[in-house]
Chains A and B, each alone.
Chain A
C-alpha cells in the first residue's frame, strides 16, 4: 500500500507543477519578461509617445477652418465630420492608437507582479510601475476629452465614459465606465504614479513626478476642480519653471524656420504627439481661425514662430516637435503657468494670476519692442485675459476642445460655426456633437 501512496504523491506532484508549463517553447521568441524588457517597452517612443493622442478633437476644434475648394475635395464622411455630424470611420484610428499604449502599460503592470522589487532593481522597477500608471492616466484623459461628456464637479457624471482596462488579455471583454468613474481613474492613477516616478525624467519622453503633477493639473482643470489643479500646478512649477525666451536662440528656438522648435524643448515636461488619423486640421489645407490669429499683439513673437502666411490667411507651424506633420500634444511649463494663473484668478488671486501671465508673455515678447506689463482691472477681465492667453499659447495642442466643453458647462456659450459656400454648420453649446463618434467597426464589440 505504501507504494500506492507514493505513486499518488507522484501524480499530485505532476499535476501541481505548472512551472513545468511555463517554459518558453522556442528561445528565439523574444518575450519581454525582465524589468529591463519592460523599461524598453515603455521607452519605445514610436509606440508610446509619437502619433498617439487623439487628433479627432483637434480636427473638430475652432483653431482651424477650410476654404471651400479644400472642403470640396473631402470625402463624404469627412464632409460630415467637418459639419460636426455623425460619420463612419474604421481601424486604424485614435482609439486603437491610444489603447495600444494602455495595453503596453497593462502588460508591464501584470508582468511586474512576477518581478520582485529588490535593492538592485528598485529604481527601474519603480520607474516602470510609475510610468505605466502615468501613461494609462494620460491616454485615458485624452480619450475622455474626445469621446465623452465633460466632467461636472457638482453634477452627476453618470453618462458614458470610455473603456477602462486593467488586463492585457484581449479575451477579457472591454467595458465602458461612467464619466465619473473614468475621471476618478485618471486622477488616482496619476496620483499613484507620483509615489514612484523620479522628480525629473532621463528623457522628456519618459514620465516623471513633474509630469504627473502637470498631468493632474491638466486633468483637474478640465474637470473644473480649480483648487486641486492649482496645488498640482504649483508643485510642477516648483520643480521646473523655466520658459523659452523667444528672443534667445540658445533656448532652442529658431523663430523663422519652417519648424521653429526641436523635439524636446526647454519647456517640454512630457512629450506626446497627436495621431494623423484625422486630418481636417492638417497644415497643408487647414487655415488658422482668424479670431485666434487676431488675438496676437504686434510684439508677440509667437505670431512669427507659430504661423506662416498662406494666401490671405495663415497656417500653423509652431508645433513643439521636429516636424509639422507631428503635432505636439504634451505637457509644458507654459501650460502650467496658464493653469496656475487661471486657478489663481478663480480663487480671487488676480494679482498673482497677472504675475504669471506677465512672466509668460514677457518670454514671448520681442525684446526690441518695450513690453508693457498687463494689468487686469477686474476678476472677469483677468479671467478673460488668461483664457485668451491659453487659447493663443496652446493652439493646435488638442486642448481647445476640452476647454470649450468645460467653459460651456460654466456658461460661456461658445458656439462653433463653420462656413462653406452658402452653408453654415453650427455646433451649439451643450450639443451631443461635442461627444465625438466612436469607430464603426467596434460596434460589434462595444
Chain B
C-alpha cells in the first residue's frame, strides 16, 4: 500500500509540471485515392497515444503535446505514418485501399498464428486493454461480460466431478461429461490452478468457439477453448518497463441475504414440538445427539432444573439475539486484495526477453492472508539465420493461511436441526458461550467426572488455536526450437514441463476443540482408580497432505506458408504427446510440538472403545496414499488455409486422438475429427467498391470436436475378495464394470455461419453468427445385448445425444466529436441446448422427472432443455390453508393422486405444466466507454433473459424433521381470509406430499430475467508526463465491480442467480499502470 501512495504522490507532482509542455495542433482531411473523404479514420500519436477520428467528411483536428509520429488507420485501407513536429493546417492525407495487403491482426490458435481475416472459424480475441478493464486476479473472471458467446453459469452443474470454471462457451455440448472449456497457456493445455496465472502476464486471450476453431484441439475442444497468450519481448526493441499496482476492497458477506426464519417463530415451533414430545426421542437416545439451546432449556425446565422465570429470561435472550450480526462482527473482515506487478521487455540484435514479477496479497472473508508471487521469464534467441530458440519459465509460489473458523452454516447446524437461527456467541455479559457440537449438553456437562479435558466448544476463541497453511508452488518450463528448412517451410519443436505441488498443513492446538475432542474420545478412565489412559496423547495435532500434478508435453510441427500470384497457402502438420500425472498422500501426527520438535506415535491399527458413547473407533489419521492418475494423449493433426485473390478462402482441420482413457479399438482405429470452412470477402470484390460496407465477409464452417471425460475407463474393473473357507477359501474376483474397447470421446458437431461487417462511415462494425451445436456419442446409460456380459441391465457408454443452437451478435459503435468519444459494444447471445436422446428405464412421464429437480442440475429428458423447470398448476389455498392443485379439472388436495396422474400422464394432465429453461437463453452485455482527453469512463451492463427459477419457501416437513426455517413462515395462512399463498402450519403433518406440491407449484416460479451492472471503471491517462519524464504511458484508474442487479423481473426483487446464497460482493479498487 505504501508503494502505491508514493507512486501516486509522484504522479501528482509530475502533473503539476504539465504546464511546461508545448502544443502542436494539426488539422486536415483524409481522402481515398479516388478523392472520396474517409470517415472514422483512427488517428493516433504513437508516443502519447493522443487520438481522434475523422468526421463524416474526413476532417480531423488533433492536439499533440510534443513532436510525435502520427498513425492514420482505417479498416480496408493501408496504414499511413507521418512525423509531425510543428502546427499544420489543412493537410491532405491520402490512404491507399487495402487490396493485397493482409490485415495485420494475428490470431493465436495455440498451434499457429494466422491473420484474422483469413480465419473462417469463430474466434473472439481480447486484447490487453479489454482484459485490463476488470481487475480480478483470476484471468477467467475478466472474460465475463466482454466475450461474445461466453457466459458464466451460476450454481448450475451436472454429475461430473471435474467442473471448475462455471464457464460455458456457446451453451452445452454434453450431459454427463465435463462442462469446462479447455484452457491453453501459450502452446499447451494448462491443467494447473488458473489462479496461478497472473493476468498482468497475459498479452491477449483468444476464445475459440466453433468446430473450425476447436477441432484442432480434437477430442478435448468440444466445450470451446480459451487460449492465454503471455507477453513476449520485441526484437531490437528498447527496454521497456511496465509497472502496475492495484488495491481492491470488498464488502463483508451479507448474511442477511440468506432466507432465515425469525427467532421468535423458530422458538415457538421448537416449543410446540417439545410439547408434542417430538424431541423425546433425541433426549432419551443413548447416543446423546446435540440439542438446540431452547430444547435444552425446555428439557431442564421439565426436569425441574430450571424455573419458569429462568426459562422465560433465557427465552427472551434467545428471541432477541442477532446471530447474523454477531457472526459478521466477530468473524468477517472486509477483504482486501493488492496486486503489484513489474514487467520488463526488451531485445537486442539476436535476442529478446520478457520478465515479469508479480505479487498478490489477498485477504479472505476471515481476514486470513494469501500471498502469491509469480515470476516469469521468456527468452527468444536467434541461434543462426534459420534457427530460433525460445526458453520460458513460470514460477508461482503461494502461501495461503486460513483459520478454523466454523462457517455460519456449520454453527447453525446442531445435531439434527440444520439451521437454528437464534444462536448467540456471547452472553449478556459479553462472555463467550459454549456450543455443544457433537453431543448433548446433558452428556458433556457430566462425563468424565472432571478427569477429561473440557468437551465444550467455543467457536470464537477456537479460531486462535488452529493454524491452517497451504503452500503451493508451480513450475512451468517451455523450450521451443523453430528452424527454417527452405523458403516457406519450417519446423518447430516444443516441449513443456509442469510441476505443481501443494503442501497443506492443518495444525490443531491442544486447546482447540478438535484436539480436545479426539483426545477425550480415545481416553480410557479406570473407574476404580480414577486413572486415565490416553490413547491419543495430549499436545497438538497436525494433519498434513501433499498433492502434485506433473505433466510433460512434446510437440513437433511442420509449417508451410507460400504465396504465388493470387494464391496463398498456409498449412501445418504436427504431432503431440502428453502425459499428466496426479499423486498425493496424507497423514496425521499426534502429540506434536514444533519446537523443540517432538511427536508421539499412536496406534492406528486397533479399534478402541471410545468415549463418550463406548463406540468402537479407529484413531483417525492413518496415512493415506491417494490413487495415482495418469492421463496420456497422443495426437496427430494438420490444417490448411488456402486463399485465392484474398477473397475466397477454404480451410480445413483434421486431428486424430489417442488416449489411455479410450478403449483399445478407439485408439487403433483411424477415426479423426475434422472441419471444413469457407470464407468470402465480398467487400474486396471490385463490383462492391464504393459501397457502404468497408468490410463484408461471409463465412461458414462445419466440423467436429470432442469432450473427454477423464474419470472414465475403457478397462474392465474388478472387485477382489475371497471365497468362504468352507468352499475352498481361494482368492476370487468379479468384473463389476464392463470393458469397452470402443469407449471414446463425446463428439460435438458444429455448424457455424457468420457475417463480419464494418461501415466506417457510421462508425459501426460487428458480426453476426448462427450455429448449431450437437453432441453425439455422449456418455449415458443404455440397454444392450446382455448376451455379451449379463452383469447388468444397462451399461454406460457413448449413446446419448443433445442438440443446441444459438446466435452470437456483436455490434460496436463509435461516435466521436473532437476530444470526446463514445464507444459502445453490444453483445447479444441466444442459446438453447436440449436433450435429444437419453435412455430412461422408468416409465414415468417427462414432466414428472423434471419436476423433482429444482433446475440446478442437468436433468436429461428427451426434448427438453438440459436445465429445465416444471411446475404444478396452482389452485390457491383451501379453507384450511392447504395448497390446492388441479386434477381432472377439479381443485384437489389429494396430492398422492395428483402425483400419480403426473407420473403416468405428465403433460397430458392439466395438473402440471412445463415452465422453461433455468439457464438464460438470451444473454449478453452492453459496454460503454466515454473518453474525453485523458479521461475514460467505462461500464458494463450484463443481461440474462428467457429463463426461470424457483423461489424457495417454507417446507414444513423440513422444518419439523430437520429444523430448516424460512422467512415465509411468518406469512403462512393462519386464519380464513388471510391473503397469502404460504400454506398453513400443522403438526403433526397429516397430508403427505403437501410440502412437495407447494415447493413444486406455479406460485413459487419466477421469471429470472435480470440486468446487472458488472463494473464501472474510471481512468485517467497521464499524457502530460510523457514530455517531461521517461514515462511512455501512465494511467490511474478506479473500478467498482459487482454493483448488483439494476432490474429483475420478479416483484420480490430476488436475485435469480444467487437465490438463497451470498452474491459476489461489491468491490472497490484503485490502481496505477505505467510503463517507461
Q: Kindly state whether residue A203 has any CB partner on chain B within 8 Å.
A: yes
Contact of B739 among A100, A107, A174, A202 (CB under 8 A): A107
CA distance A202 to B632 in the complex (A): 42
- Could you tell me the distance between the alpha carbons of A45 and B723 in the complex, rounded to whole angstroms? 7
Cβ–Cβ contact A20 & B661, under 8 A: no
Contact call B740/A170, Cβ cutoff below 8 A? yes
Q: Which residues of B contact A7 (CB under 8 A)?
A: 491, 493, 556
- Residues in A with CB closer than 8 Å to B785 are 170, 173-174, 442, 445-446
User: In the docked arrangement, what's the CA distance between A444 and B785, Å?
Assistant: 8
Q: Does A445 contact B784, Cβ atoms closer than 8 Å? A: yes
> What is the count of residue pairs linking A and B with beta-carbon distances less than 8 angstroms?
185
Number of interface residues of A (CB under 8 A): 62
Contact pattern, B 235-247, Cβ under 8 Å of A = 1, otherwise 0 = 0000000000000
The size of the chain B interface, using a CB distance under 8 A, is: 58
A91-B715 contact given A20-B577, A173-B785, A174-B785, CB 8 Å threshold: no
In the complex formed, the residue of A with least CB distance to B783 is A441
Let me know if A25 and B710 touch, CB within 8 A: yes
- What does the 1/0 interface line of B729-750 toward A look like (CB < 8 Å)? 0111111001111100000000
Complex CA–CA separation, A415 to B634 (angstroms): 66
Complex CA–CA separation, A37 to B734 (angstroms): 10
Convert A60-101 into 0s and 1s, putting 1 for each residue whose CB lies closer than 8 angstroms to a CB of B: 000000000000000000000000000000011001111110
Q: Is A103 in contact with chain B by the CB < 8 A criterion?
A: yes
Question: Given that A23-B632, A30-B720, A170-B738 are known contacts, is A40 also in contact with B728, CB under 8 Å in the complex?
Answer: no
Q: Are A24 and B718 in contact, with the CB atoms below 8 A?
A: no
CB contacts (< 8 Å) of A168 on chain B: these are 716, 739, 788
How far apart sit A18 and B634, CA to CA, in the bound complex (Å)?
Answer: 9
Cα A40 to Cα B718 with chains together (Å): 10
CB contact between B727 and one of A4, A171, A203 (< 8 Å): that residue: A203
A326 to chain B, nearest CB (A): 12
- Decide yes or no whether B528 CB sits under 8 A from chain A: no
Evaluate contact between B636 and A15: CB separation under 8 angstroms.
Answer: yes
Across the interface, which residues of B come within 8 angstroms of A103, CB to CB? 735, 788-791
Chain A contacts of B717 at CB under 8 A? 29-31
- Report yes or no: B787 in contact with A25, Cβ–Cβ below 8 A: no
Contact B713 A25 (CB under 8 A): yes
Q: Mark A1-39, 1 if CB is under 8 A from B, else 0.
A: 001100100110011011011111111111110001101
**Is A41 close to B, CB under 8 A?**
yes
Instruction: Give the distance in Å from the alpha carbon of A32 to the alpha carbon of B733 in the complex.
Output: 8
- The docked-state distance in angstroms from the alpha carbon of A17 to that of B667 is 11
Say whether, besides A18-B667, A40-B730, A44-B734, A174 and B716 are in contact (CB < 8 Å): no
Cα A24 to Cα B631 with chains together (Å): 8
Task: Determine which residue in A11, A26, A31, A444 has the highest number of CB atoms from chain B within 10 A of its CB, and name it.
Answer: A26
Residue A263 at the chain B interface, CB threshold 8 Å: yes
The answer on a CB contact under 8 Å between B788 and A99 is yes
A218 to chain B, nearest CB (A): 23
Asked whether B627 is an interface residue with its Cβ less than 8 Å from the other chain, the reply is yes
Contacts of A174 in B (CB 8 A): 785, 787-788
Contact residues in B for A253 (Cβ distance below 8 Å): none
> In chain B, residues 589-608, which have Cβ atoms closer than 8 Å to a Cβ of chain A?
none
Distance in Å: Cβ of A159 to nearest Cβ of chain B: 19
Q: Which residue of B lies closest to A167 (CB)?
A: B788
B629 and A26 form a contact (CB under 8 A): yes
Is residue B660 within 8 Å, beta carbon to beta carbon, of the partner chain? yes
- Chain B contacts for A39, CB-based, 8 A: 730-731
Q: Is the CB of A47 within 8 A of B660?
A: no
- Asked whether B787 lies within 8 Å of A92 as measured between CB atoms, the reply is no
Give A395 Cβ to nearest chain B Cβ, in Å.
Answer: 25
Please state if B627 and A40 are interface contacts (CB–CB under 8 Å). no
- Interface 1/0s, chain B 549-561, versus A by CB < 8 A? 0000010100000
Instruction: Report if B1045 contacts A (CB, 8 A).
Output: no
A46 CB–B CB distance under 8 Å:
yes
A171 to B789, CA, bound (A): 11
B787 lies within 8 A of A21 (CB): no
A171 to B742, CA, bound (A): 7
Are B735 and A21 in touch, CB under 8 angstroms? no
Query: Chain B residues with Cβ under 8 A from A171's Cβ?
Result: 665, 740-742
Tell me if A264 is interfacial: C-beta within 8 Å of chain B: yes
Q: Given A15-B575, A21-B660, verify A43-B788 contact (CB < 8 Å).
A: no
Chain A residues near B783 (CB, 8 Å)? 441, 444
| 8 Å CB interface, B563-614 against A | 575, 577
Does residue B10 face the partner (Cβ distance < 8 Å to A)? no
Within 8 A of B (CB), among A421-446: 441-442, 444-446
For B630, the chain A residues whose CB sits under 8 A away are: 23-27
- Tell me the smallest distance from the CB of B329 to a CB of chain A, in Å: 46
The answer, yes or no, to whether A377 is at the interface (CB within 8 Å) is: no
- The interface residues of chain B lying within 8 Å CB-to-CB of A28 are 627
Residue in A4, A21, A43, A99 whose CB lies within 8 Å of B786:
A99
Q: Of the candidates B710, B732, B739, B784, which one forms a contact with A40 in the assembled complex, judged by CB atoms under 8 Å apart?
A: B732
Flag if B728 contacts A203 (CB, 8 Å): yes
**Which chain B positions have C-beta within 8 A of A26?**
627-630, 713
A104 to B726 alpha-carbon distance, docked (Å): 24
Find residues 1001-1057 in chain B having any chain A CB closer than 8 Å to their own CB: none
CB neighbours of A172 from chain B (8 A): 788
Residue-wise interface mask of A (189-205) relative to B, using a CB-CB cutoff of 8 A (1 in contact, 0 not): 00000000000001101
In the assembled complex, how far is the CB of residue A132 from the closest CB belonging to chain B, in whole angstroms? 14
A136 within 8 A of B: no
The 8 Å CB contact of B723, one of A43, A100, A104, is: A43
**Are B789 and A170 in touch, CB under 8 angstroms?**
yes
A residues near B132, Cβ cutoff 8 Å:
none
Contact B718 A37 (CB under 8 A): yes
Contacts known (A11-B575, A23-B632, A40-B731); A29 close to B713, Cβ less than 8 A: yes
Q: Is B793 an interface residue (CB 8 A)?
A: yes
CB pair A41–B733 under 8 Å, yes or no, is yes
Asked if A20 and B634 sit within 8 Å, CB to CB, the answer is yes
A169 within 8 A of B: yes
CB proximity of B218 to chain A, nearest CB, Å: 15
Within 8 A of A (CB), among B467-521: 483, 485, 491, 493
CB-CB under 8 A from A43, the residues of chain B are 723, 728, 730-733
Q: At the interface, yes or no: A165 with Cβ under 8 Å from chain B?
A: yes
Question: Per-residue 0/1 for B761-790: is the Cβ within 8 Å of any A Cβ (1 yes, 0 no)?
Answer: 000000000000000000000011111111
Question: Shortest beta-carbon distance, A346 to chain B, in Å?
Answer: 36
Q: Which of B493, B718, B720, B741 contacts A169 (CB 8 A)?
A: B741
Which of A40, A98, A163 has the most chain B CB atoms inside 10 A of its CB? A40
Cα distance, A47 to B792, chains bound together (Å): 13
Closest to A202 in B: B728
In whole angstroms, what is the CA distance A263 to B724 when docked?
12
Chain A residues in 8 Å Cβ range of B713 = 24-26, 29
Q: Which residues of A contact B483 (CB under 8 A)?
A: 3
Determine if A29 and B715 form an interchain contact, defined as CB atoms under 8 angstroms apart.
yes
Residue among A11, A21, A30, A37 having the largest count of chain B Cβ atoms under 10 Å: A21
When distances are taken between beta carbons in the complex, the residues of chain B under 8 Å from A45 are 723, 727, 732
Smallest CB–CB gap between A413 and chain B, Å? 35
New A-B pairs, 9, CB < 8 Å, besides A40-B732, A46-B734: A7-B556, A17-B634, A18-B658, A30-B720, A31-B718, A91-B786, A99-B788, A169-B739, A169-B741
17 example contacts (A-B, Cβ-Cβ < 8 A) are as follows A15-B634, A21-B658, A21-B662, A23-B660, A26-B630, A27-B627, A29-B713, A40-B730, A44-B732, A100-B790, A103-B735, A170-B789, A171-B742, A172-B788, A173-B785, A202-B730, A442-B786
B residues in contact (CB < 8 Å) with A: 483, 485, 491, 493, 554, 556, 575, 577, 627-632, 634, 636, 658-662, 665, 667-668, 710, 713, 715-720, 723, 726-728, 730-735, 738-742, 783-791, 793, 795
Q: What 5 A-B pairs are tightest by C-beta distance, nearest first?
A: A28-B627, A100-B790, A203-B728, A445-B785, A170-B788
Question: What is A's interface to B at a CB cutoff of 8 Å?
Answer: 3-4, 7, 10-11, 14-15, 17-18, 20-32, 36-37, 39-41, 43-47, 91-92, 95-100, 103-104, 107, 163, 165, 168-174, 202-203, 205, 263-264, 441-442, 444-446
